[in-house]
Amino acid sequence: MPDELIPKLQATIRAKDPQGSVELETPDYVVRFSSLGAPQELRIRCVPPKSWTISYAARAPDARERWFLESKGVWFPEHLDCRRVRFAPLDDRYKLFASDEGFFRSVFEAPELSDALMKIPAENHLKASLKDATLRVAWNVRFDPRFSDRDGFLLQCADIMVLLGGLLFKHVQLSTLMRGGT
User: Edge-to-edge strand order for the sheet containing 67-71?
Assistant: 21-25, 28-35, 38-47, 51-59, 134-142, 125-131, 67-71, 94-98, 83-84
CA atoms of 107 and 125, how far apart (whole Å) = 21
pLDDT at residue 145 in the model: 73
62-114 per-position pLDDT tens digit:
999 999 999 987 666 667 789 999 999 998 999 999 999 999 999 999 999 99
pTM here? 0.88
Q: Which residues of 159-175 are buried (b: 16+ CB within 10 A; e: fewer)?
A: ebbbebbbbbbbbbbeb
pLDDT (average), residues 148-157:
86
12-39 per-position pLDDT tens digit:
888 888 888 898 887 889 999 988 778 9
CA angle 50, 119, 34 (to 5 degrees): 80
40: Cβ contacts below 8 Å, ≥ 6 apart: 32, 33, 34, 56, 57, 58, 165, 166, 169
Q: Which amino acid is at 11?
A: A
> What are the distances in angstroms from CA 75 to CA 78, 85, 157, 170?
9, 16, 22, 26
For residue 146, pLDDT over 80 is answered with no
